[in-house]
Chain A
Amino acid sequence: MIFQTNNRLKGLFLFLGLFIIQYSFAFENNLKRPINGQDGSVERIEEGSKLFNANCASCHALNNKVVGPALAGVVDKYSEDYTWLLSWIKNNQKLVKSGDERANKIYAEYNGAAMNIFENLSDDQITSVLMWIDNGGDGGTIAVDASVTQEIAPVSDGLFSKINWIVVVMCLLVFAVILMILGILELVSNITGREVINWNNINAYMMLVFLVGFFGLVIYEYSIHNQFNLANFESASEHGIEMDRMMRWTWIATLPVFFVTQFLLFFFSFKYRQKPNHKAYFLSHNNNLEYVWTLIPAIVLAVLVSGGFKMWNKVLRSDPDGKTQQIEVFAYQFGWNARYPGADGELGKANFNLINGVNPLGVANREHAVELIKELEADILSMDTALMRLPKELAVLKSGLGGLVDDERKDQLNKIKAYTSGDKKADLELLIRARHTQIDRLKKALAAEGGMFDGKGDDDQVVGEIHLVKDKPVRLRFRARDVIHSAYLPYFRTQMNVVPGLPTEFTFTPIKSTREMQAIKGDPEFDYYLVCNKICGNAHFNMKMKVVVEDQASYDKWMAEQAALFVKKPETPSLPTSVSDSTSTIETVALN
């Protein structure tokens, strides 16, 4: 959470009241001290806020732990050793591998879940983020939340805003009293020999009461919560309109069945309750009746199946000629990137072996690959040194055991265990082997001439939000870096899993610009988002990317601002040699 307030409704209403005042002071400079020799300014803090939300917010909050630690006070904590903090933020892995003690301690504390690498950020940009953190966050997020409280209002009745323990205790007391009354009644019925309460009738009537209450709940729910049903806001994609129609027909087919069968269930239960000296009507079966209620659902379902079948094929095979504009959507723990094809209109090939801090998507580029091999070789060297350092580190740890007691001793013993069990060594050796394999693969790919390194990726633009042109079909091609994610675009009725090693895609046409949807929803702050919808780790719930739908002119303007990934180099003559399977993932077709 970016701002720490009591997020209960009362608190939010309070903020609603103070919203305007707060907003005007949103970036008031509260900096206590210059950071890295630089004084904070409103512009810097504002920049920091943007950078934080784009890069850090999915894993960090100011005042509580999300995946990584809470960041409030981080500047104080590392004020002595600011360069260390900078290098940690930029590339924590490098620090860990270099054997830096502090880095290893943090690494161990978070069970070896590494922070992402931010070599793309400059020292000054990181300092801006830290200024923003030191300034205590901003009012920007409050503004977002405040806009939401307006929507909460109609649903809220304040009744359930917190657990009332007095009510709980009273419920328990009532239950105890009920128990006592039941006990007395049972005693009476034992003595008199007949039941005091006719439970059968009570429950039969309760069935009727429940029936009314249940239908009441359904109608209440429908009237209150259906206002958020996506189908109420016209779909922002072309196929979505048809999907909404199909949804409506499915409701029409199922709702009457729901009401009729539930009514019959509870009504029969009431009507045919046990009566004295009555015998039930012996009816073991009736074939005609059974044929009818087999055939009717079969026919209704056949209609729905054929509709769904057509729809499904239409949506998933909507790009037969493959001429639609392509955008790559890349998912990683925990965020999204998008890649635009650039001037040549073609996405360059990409491969997971090419990923590093400056090329987060692993787009193929010869110079980058050569550079990366050098980097990896250096990495191997440093790990080799670390491997050799192990016995010495163990000796230091053992000698440090002397004066420690209790928890400290336990911690130290745990650390020693990681060395003596061979885990540490095995871990390093595995990493070294993986680096060697990676270098082999890269070298093979480089030697293959052409193939992956066709230079088509050099002008690709890697961005942090998707911009789409209204009414223009677009083909999203999905690629995952680490685990399975799922790209969910609720307003576009679009969803597709993002699977490592298995490229997937989805084609659709956006037909409502962000502006138009803002008008429909009556919310000027509204934005489309692509969110993750497949459990992917601790910060799964924070994985989102903004999607903007706009007209061609604004799209072109935005596009012009995006820098190409690599400076354009003269292309190497491409030869029709194929590269090994592992290096051509982007071209694989998703068939399984």
Chain B
Amino acid sequence: MSTATAHAHTDDHHHHEESFISKYVFSMDHKMISKQFLITGIIMGVIGMAMSIAFRLQLAYPDTSFPILEWLFGSKWAPDGHLDAGYYMALVTMHGTIMVFYVLTAGLSGTFANLLLPLQVGARDMASPFMNMLSYWLFLLSSVVLLSSLFVETGPASGGWTIYPPLSALPKAMAGSGMGMTLWLVAIVIFIASSLLGGINYVSTVLNMRTKGMSMTRLPLTVWALMLTAVLGILSFPVLLGGGLLLLFDRGFGTSFYLSDIYLGSAGALEHTGGSPVLFQHLFWFLGHPEVYIIIMPALGITSEIIAVNSRKPIFGYTAMVISLLGIAFLSFIVWGHHMFITGMNPLLGAVFLVTTLIIAVPSAVKTFNYLATLWRGNIRFTNAMMFAIGLVSFFISGGLTGIFLGNAALDIQLHDTYFVVGHFHIVMGCAAIFGMIAGIYHWFPKMFGRMMNKPLGYIHFWLTFISAYLVFFPMHFMGLAGVPRRYYAFTLLPEYNVWADVNVLMTLAAILGGIAQIVFLYNFFSSIFIGKKATQNPWEANTLEWTTPVERIHGNWPGEIPTVYRWAYDYSNPAHEADFMPQNIPDEHSAEELFEKNTSVDPARKDSPVKETVDFFTLLRNWYKPRTV
């Protein structure tokens, strides 16, 4: 890291002295902010995962005493090493909240949008570095507020991460709905502010600050994905903010937005009338569903980039990939009702959401097939990042297909809120997104820290994580098909479900194995920052602009002028060039200017394509069996 400061002096434009505080703490440099997001995200991820292992222990061994739980949570929440039923709910709630918002939204988008947007579009920094810094500090503040709720007397929020009122609105309905819930709401309000500041920044950076020659059609897919993610966040997070504020009013000021006709055992008939608990669900899922895509789209963008680089092939169907992203982004706003099929809403409304939900499967399917086509006849390098990207595609297929069951309103009557749902979303958005994030970390680690991560350790990490993830979440589908409800602390009064005792043990052991694999990763990550092998400027031989910056990460990104872009980001193994990659900033040998002018009007992807438009599908299919060498 010391070399970075040394290099900063050679830069004419940015030669001010930086103190420790302005460089590492209140930094306005997008690369440092991305590292802050990443490390905060990793810490939150470790906490979230530890929570999941704690409640998985309860599910697998409901009658065994684990002194470690008492040591961790205290004798109030885990007396004699048995997790308390209410605290089990609290852990489930906090696990969901942390993973969805703090790891996979802020940790993933925050890290990679900050790192990649300016570097890949060719900008010296974000559109508003100060807002960017504010975004991180609000995120950190929000994390601290959320974690502080763990130490409240009545415990953290425990009504599920979806915090449906009236349960979350009435402190007398559940201990966790007291102070813990207030802190949860405050944390989310701060989080939304952070997310909006970041999102506006990302969008304006991409739209306004692209370098010369970087047309929208030449943007790497990571940039497309991250930008559309930011758009989704900007449009949907304010709705949750509104919903959350109304809930705060119901809790604190006696309003009745979500409350009606309630008799509580401890308080008798309440005054509230006229509200609708289902209104909150509509507001929540209007964010909640785009949120799923806020989580998965950056991961898909990262995967597109990594698969293309490491297959040494252009991403198959760039235009189709962009259109799919746009389609997913649009459709994600009109499918939220599929989380609420059985809330008693009008059957007509349910039918509409059924149709839109299954339509969104089409662009997702296109993306999957395009990934497969990109791998086909490639020259695949199994870097750590590539392995995780392949893992993501596998999860995306498995989880996507089970989504077809749940999106069908009629089948959802039976499967709603069973373990089938848990298995589905953990695979398609939990595992897939976290694999995208980890792939990104392995891929851009040299860009972040100027060093390489240990490859063999990365392989161990991948295989253990991949196998354990499938072992944890795959059997859940069968539990769901057998009608086992989720969020059950134990099967005390439902001994029929005790047939799953062994499966629960298997899943818990697999989860512990997955946890151990993450220790390998953490060791690899933190040790490589200091003792990893020194990275070269373009270790993966990639085309995008971030690899044209010096290894030392300087303020302003490029020491001289910002490079001009002459081609799209995916010119890998182009027969027109000798090398199997051609960075975006290298002018063509003939006439740089002329080509640049020409390429802006012609689809650059089309220019060198050896496959003629007239080749029909069946010829192509036949060619699969007769590989040609180019």
Contacts and interface: CB of A to CB of B under 8 A. Distances in A.
A243 interface: yes
A308 B408 contact: yes
A280 B377 contact: yes
Q: Which of B260, B390, B398, B483 has the most CB of A within 10 A?
A: B483
Interface string A284-320: 1111111011100110010011011101110111000
A426 to B, nearest CB: 11
Interface string A180-204: 0010011000000000010110111
A419 B365 CA distance: 62
A301 B382 contact: no
B318 A243 contact: no
Nearest to A230: B483
A301 B401 CA distance: 11
Given A175-B520, A225-B479, 14 more contacts: A113-B172, A151-B499, A152-B499, A225-B503, A262-B394, A282-B609, A294-B362, A305-B354, A312-B409, A315-B413, A482-B263, A484-B167, A503-B344, A540-B89
29 contacts: A1-B63, A111-B178, A144-B495, A152-B499, A200-B381, A207-B390, A225-B475, A225-B482, A226-B481, A229-B481, A230-B481, A247-B405, A265-B390, A279-B573, A282-B314, A282-B609, A283-B376, A285-B317, A286-B316, A307-B410, A312-B354, A312-B409, A351-B261, A355-B263, A379-B268, A483-B170, A484-B164, A495-B416, A582-B273
A529 interface: yes
A263 B511 CA distance: 25
A483 B234 CA distance: 32
Nearest to B160: A535
Contacts of B178: 111
A217 B358 contact: no
Contacts of A438: 268-269
B145 interface: no
A409 B358 CA distance: 62
B235 interface: no
B493 interface: yes
A229 B478 CA distance: 7
Nearest to A498: B344
Contacts of A504: 343-344
A286 B160 CA distance: 46
Contact of A501 (B89, B276, B377, B405): B276
B67 to A, nearest CB: 13
Contact of B482 (A218, A229, A585): A229
A61 interface: yes
B183 to A, nearest CB: 16
Interface stretch (A29-37, A154-162, A363-371, A447-455): A154-162
A502 B85 contact: no
Interface residues of A, number: 170
A229 B415 CA distance: 11
Contacts of A541: 85, 487-494
B318 A497 contact: no
A334 to B, nearest CB: 10
Contact of B268 (A210, A435, A526): A435
Q: Which of B312, B316, B380, B490 has the most CB of A within 10 A?
A: B380
A557 interface: no
Interface stretch (A250-258, A340-348, A465-473, A558-566): A250-258
B6 interface: no
B608 A148 contact: no
A95 interface: no
B346 to A, nearest CB: 5
B297 to A, nearest CB: 19
B51 interface: no
A288 B620 contact: yes
Given A262-B394, A535-B160, A537-B174, A493 B414 contact: yes
A380 B230 CA distance: 54
Interface in A206-236: 206-207, 210, 213-214, 217-218, 221-222, 225-226, 228-231
Interface string A525-555: 0100101111111111110100000000000
Contacts of B273: 501, 581-582
B377 A117 contact: no
Nearest to B490: A541
A272 interface: yes
Contacts of A578: none
Interface string B267-310: 11111011111110000000000000000000000000000000
A568 interface: no
Contact of B494 (A268, A495, A499, A531): A531
Contact of B345 (A182, A204, A592): A592
Interface in B165-213: 166-167, 170-175, 178
B408 A246 contact: yes
A299 to B, nearest CB: 10
A163 to B, nearest CB: 7
Contacts of A61: 492
B572 A280 contact: yes
A116 B265 contact: yes
A161 B317 CA distance: 50
B608 A162 contact: no
Nearest to A240: B414
A155 B499 contact: yes
A353 interface: yes
Contacts of B485: 488, 531-533
Contacts of A230: 414, 481-483
Contacts of A581: 273-274
Nearest to A543: B493
Interface string B132-172: 00000000000000000000001000011000101100111
A569 B512 CA distance: 65
Contacts of A203: 382, 387, 459
B506 interface: yes
Q: Which of A162, A226, A240, A500 has the most CB of B within 10 A?
A: A500
B61 interface: yes
B344 A499 contact: yes
A481 B376 contact: no
Given A8-B64, A482-B166, A499 B610 contact: no
Contacts of A275: 379
Interface stretch (B219-227, B438-446, B611-619): B611-619
A329 to B, nearest CB: 13
Nearest to A591: B346
Contacts of B375: 265, 268-269, 272
A270 to B, nearest CB: 9
A202 B462 CA distance: 13
Interface string B348-384: 0011001100110110011011111101111111100
A112 interface: yes
B342 interface: yes
Contacts of B313: 280-283
A290 B362 CA distance: 12
B63 A265 contact: no
Contacts of B488: 540-541
A289 B605 contact: no
A93 interface: yes
B347 interface: yes
Nearest to A442: B269
A24 interface: no
Contacts of A312: 347, 350-351, 354, 408-410
A355 B261 CA distance: 11
- 6 interchain residue pairs of minimum CB distance: A501-B260, A490-B483, A114-B266, A504-B344, A311-B410, A7-B63
Contacts of A431: 267-268
Contacts of A352: 261-263, 269
A494 B416 CA distance: 10
A511 to B, nearest CB: 16
A265 B342 contact: no
A230 B414 CA distance: 10
A262 B398 contact: yes
A151 B343 CA distance: 34
A514 interface: no
